[in-house]
Amino acid sequence: MKLVFATHNENKLKEVKALMPAYIELLSLTDIGCHEEIPETAETIEGNAKIKADYVTQKYNLNCFADDTGLLIDALNGEPGVYSARYAGEEKNAEANMAKVLNNLKNKTNRNAHFKTVIALNIANQQFMFEGVVFGNITTEKHGIKGFGYDPIFKPEHHDKTFAELPLSIKNTISHRGLATKKLIDFLKDR
C-alpha cells in the first residue's frame, strides 16, 4: 500500500518510517513532487492536520495522512499550542522557540506540559483522525542532541531523560507522534 505522509520535515519522516510495517510504502511530499509549503492556518491542531491532508488529496488525488503537533504548557495557559512551530516567529526556528519557552517559564514552578499530535488520514474518500498525547515537564535548560523541535527541553513522565537524550527506539514507543502513528497503523491493518 502506498501512502503519502504530507510533510517536508525529514525528522518527522524518519520517526514515522521507523514505525511503518513493510507493507506500507511511505512517500513524502518531495517524493510526489510537492515542493510548496502547505499553509497551516487553522486555529486548532486538528484543523491544521486536516488542511494538510486535504491539500494533498485534492491536488494529487492520493491516499495520504498529515499530522500536526503542539506543545501545551500549563503555566503558559496552553502556549505555544497550535503555534508551536512558529512560537518565536514565522521562520520556525527551534532554538528561538525553546529560548522563548524557557524565558517565559523562568520564574514558574509549575513546568507541567504535554505534547499532542493529531493525524488526519484521507483514504478511499473518507477522513479518519488519530490522536497521541504524552505528558511530562519542561526542563530548565536543554539536554541532549537527538530529536528535533522542543525535544531537548521536554522530559516525558516516568523518564529521567529528555526526548533529545532518548534513543529513537524508546522515543517512538512513548511519544505523542509514536502513539498517534500506532493508532493509524492499527487502523490500516484492518483495511
Q: How far apart are CA 143 and CA 126, in angstroms?
A: 41
H or E element in which residue 65 lies? strand 64-73
Exposed, middle or buried by CB within 10 Å (0-12, 13-18, 19+), for 95?
A: exposed
Nearest to 12 by CA among 25, 33, 29: 29
Q: Mind telling me the catalytic residues?
A: 68
Backbone dihedral region of 105: left (phi > 0), alpha (psi from -120 to 50 degrees) or beta? alpha
The SS3 call for residue 106 is coil
- DSSP letter assigned to residue 174: H
What cell was used for 133?
Answer: 498525547
Q: Amino acid identity, residue 77?
A: N
The phi, psi pair for 119, rounded to 5°, reads -110, 130
What cell was used for 81?
Answer: 499550542
